[in-house]
């Protein structure tokens, strides 16, 4: 997520002139979209300032090799809106991962406010200097609000995941949130934002799994809780998560991150996913885009990674 005051205006413009697979709007509907965007801008305001740093070594007292962890992406990865560095996603994951693995974890956040998928290359340049074992990426919102064609966005994401994997780093991607849950967006702008963000999330999953990473559907970050308790899970701007919202995001991603860090499902209760179902990745991606907390990763069937419909993928759903 990025400069949220301008996001609604860009969404309305994208809806009017088209982008990706989302069609063109007529003049009357365009006028409605402009009005809704203006109202949303006044409510959301601007995302300003830099989130506090959560960088550091967690579990210093633990024995064993240090696990280097990198957090990449946009303001949701950086933890925009929290007051303490200890409440940022990098810190929350670093602390939890050290507890689960029994190893100290060195967490470093390279995500920043306003980042798009095209910014991942620069973030990876900085991250690879520390040879991370595990990286988490949360990105996509600003691609939607800037009307980046989904094909370009997912191509860049796939290349980023592949680059990290080639460097020996395991990768977990939190897919684009469902922007249809953003309260200041009214209809029809909200429906447009939901359709585009879900479409991007499904395509992100395919690109990530094909590149050798795992994806976790953040859906509506995570829709049910955010919908029934927006005061608790959203920050004051109703666009970015609150501290509780970031905990929900990390909770959804943590089992996949722990597995990437070398922990088997049976080793810790924190890996709270149900046993998986194996489907072609395109089918798995569509299901994950509509079910928050769904992990999709590569799988083998009969000793083969691909079937007649492409890459095999295993789906795991977060329990609870």
For the record, the structure tokens of 129 come out as: 């200097």
**Between β-strands 214-216 and 277-280, what pairing exists: parallel, antiparallel or unpaired?**
unpaired
- Max Cα separation, the chain? 65
139 and 115 Cβ atoms separated by less than 8 Å:
yes
Phi and psi, residue 311, nearest 5°: -60, 135
| Closest C-alpha to 2, from 88, 74, 73 | 74
**CA–CA distance from 70 to each of 1, 49, 298 (Å)?**
18, 21, 21
Residues designated as active site: 75, 237, 240
Strands 105-109 and 56-58: antiparallel
Helix ranges (DSSP H) in the chain = 4-17, 27-44, 75-78, 89-101, 120-127, 141-145, 150-166, 189-210, 223-228, 230-233, 243-260, 281-289
Tokens of 90: 């990098």
């Amino acid at each position: 997520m990025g400069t949220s005051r301008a996001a609604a205006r860009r969404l309305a413009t994208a809806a009017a002139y088209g982008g990706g697979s989302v069609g063109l709007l007529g003049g009357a509907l365009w006028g409605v979209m402009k009005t809704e965007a203006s109202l949303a801008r006044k409510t959301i305001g601007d995302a300003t300032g830099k989130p506090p740093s959560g960088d550091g070594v967690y579990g210093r007292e633990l024995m064993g090799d240090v696990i280097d962890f990198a957090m990449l992406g946009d303001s949701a990865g950086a933890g925009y809106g929290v007051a303490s560095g200890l409440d940022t996603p990098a810190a929350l994951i670093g602390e939890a991962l050290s507890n689960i693995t029994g190893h100290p974890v060195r967490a470093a956040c390279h995500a920043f406010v306003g980042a798009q998928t095209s910014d991942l290359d620069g973030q990876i340049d900085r991250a690879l200097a520390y040879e991370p074992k595990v990286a988490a990426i949360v990105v996509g919102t600003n691609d939607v609000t800037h009307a980046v064609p989904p094909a370009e966005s997912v191509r860049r994401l796939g290349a980023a995941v592949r680059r990290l994997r080639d460097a020996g780093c395991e990768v977990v991607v939190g897919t684009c949130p469902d922007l249809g849950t953003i309260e200041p967006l009214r209809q029809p702008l909200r429906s447009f934002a939901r359709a585009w963000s879900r479409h991007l999330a499904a395509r992100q999953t395919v690109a990530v799994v094909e590149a050798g990473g795992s994806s976790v559907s953040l859906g509506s970050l995570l829709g049910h809780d955010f919908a029934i308790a927006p005061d608790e899970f959203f920050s004051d701007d109703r666009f970015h998560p609150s501290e509780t919202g970031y905990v929900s995001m990390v909770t959804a991603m943590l089992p996949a991150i722990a597995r990437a860090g070398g922990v088997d499902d049976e080793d810790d209760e924190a890996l709270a996913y149900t046993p998986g179902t194996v489907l072609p990745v395109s089918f798995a991606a569509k299901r994950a885009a509509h079910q928050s907390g769904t992990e999709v990763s590569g799988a083998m069937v009969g000793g083969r990674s691909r079937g007649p419909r492409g890459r095999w993928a295993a789906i795991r759903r977060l329990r609870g």
